Chains A and B, each alone.
Chain A
Amino acid sequence: MTIREAGRALRDRKVSSVELTRQAIEQIERLNPTLNAFITITAESAFERARQADAELAGGHDRGPLHGIPIAHKDLFLTRGVRTTGGSKIYENFVPDHDATVVEKLDLAGAVSLGKLNMHELAFGITSTNPHFGAVRNPWNPEHIPGGSSGGSGVAVATDMVFAATGSDTGGSIRIPAAYCGVVGLKPTYGRVSRYGTIPLAFSLDHMGPLARTVRDAALVLNAMAGYDSRDPASARRSVIDFVPEDHCEIRGLRIGVPERFFFARLDPEVKTAVTAAVARAKDLGAEIRTVDLPDIEALITAGMVIQFCEVAAVLEPHLAARERFGKDVLALVDQGRFLSGPDYVNAQRLRRQAQQDFRSVWKEVDCLMMPTTAISAPRIGEARVCIGEYEEDIRSASTRLVRSFNALGLPALSMPCGRSAAGLPIGLQIVGPAFGEALVLKTAAALEYSVIVPR
């Protein structure tokens, strides 16, 4: 059931928010012991909120499409009175006295939060194999990772524990779990969704966004999340439009860029086949497919990594006296940032600006870009390296190298399912648009959604 279908059923009195919440809690009770998507389940407050939602609807107070809909938050969004761990030992007993802006907004929109979702420690990693709160497991095969860092979000949405979830994306952390779990994940433009009240990883690369089962559901959640917030210094004063694509949206004449160099090199053959088929489907729907050569992505990725390492080290340096409180992989990444200098950070920002300027010419040639989200489907838990053809690659690199550059550029990027591997694991298609072009990205995704193989 989609959010829109649930909303219709709620308004037709065919179901209540309390019933939807009960179904969701039952699903969590059934699956969470295996998949470990939730760190904290707030069933009691969820039922209270659901009862309120039902009473409001009965009294004619309709908050909109998310009214009475069960959702959950990645455990780095601050929630008043509810423990917010960031998946870390550092914050294991942190109970905020206020909500993140996104939490506030979704609450105002009537959504019913069922709790806080497990994640990669401090959002700094892609496995969601959390050393403090346990490994999150892929619902398509529990021996595999769900991706990360928003791993719990991807799993909760994919398994119908919730209709939608919040996530954060600093180097692919919404899109990677969306791809590995077979759901839709959108990293909006930098500044589109407030970061206020989230545990930061890297200030200039952190993006907040939705994960949902369908493109239109993701758009509905974005509608509620987006908007200017004076409490976030990077928040954009862009007016919020209705991001939900119309029912029979068309992409005829749309110029879709396919960056073959870099983005289609070194791919698992099954990923390449599925994404190529999705591009062909877009062509069948009337889009004009153009091969494009993007500015130096490798340089941008390197600059982005230097920026991320420096910003992370700045944030976490005060906690490093207690090294035993960090997982080994996160600690290694944090330590790397401590070797970089002030000039390194400035130079990386100079490279980033150059790339942003160079990228403007891309949007003169095409309206959006289409490529794989990840080079592989979800690896096994504990696997450090994968073979892609004759290449052996670190799974972190194989998971992030196609998504990371769009964080440094701040561009909207969506991952949607476009097929499955022979092993039954989902494959993600990534669609990228110009800054504040979320509506176009969502429309393109919606046009393709029911014409490519969607794993359910």
Chain B
Amino acid sequence: MSNRIDWKAIAKARGLEIPAADLELIAPRLDALEEAFRPLARALTPDQEPAPAFDAERDGE
């Protein structure tokens, strides 16, 4: 189990029923994604809007 983020505790807090062995398997991948994604998310500025999935013109038909 990774010692960086306690994924087991997060799973418990969120009520995710994931067997310990399965969690053990994905923890390093979660760490890697966290390491890659978190700095990018932190660097976003308020003017950067998401890519919209909703199209008002079309969905309003």
Contact = CB atoms under 8 A, between A and B. Distances in A.
Interface of A: 203-204, 230, 233-234, 298-299, 302-303, 305-306, 309, 320, 323, 331-332, 335-336, 338-339, 343-344, 346-354, 356
A136 B30 CA distance: 29
Describe B's contact surface by its main secondary structure. Answer: helix
A347 B41 contact: yes
A298 B40 CA distance: 10
B44 A332 contact: no
Contact of A302 (B40, B48, B55): B40
A350 B48 contact: yes
Interface string B37-49: 1001100100011
A332 B26 contact: yes
A204 B55 CA distance: 13
Nearest to B29: A336
Nearest to A329: B25
A339 B10 contact: yes
B11 interface: yes
The 9 A-B residue pairs with the shortest CB-CB distance, nearest first, are A349-B50, A353-B51, A347-B41, A302-B36, A352-B51, A350-B48, A350-B50, A349-B51, A332-B26
A309 B16 CA distance: 15
7 contacts: A233-B58, A234-B53, A302-B37, A303-B40, A306-B37, A339-B30, A350-B50
B49 A335 contact: no
A204 B54 CA distance: 11
B14 interface: yes
Nearest to B44: A350
A266 to B, nearest CB: 17
Contacts of A302: 33, 36-37, 40
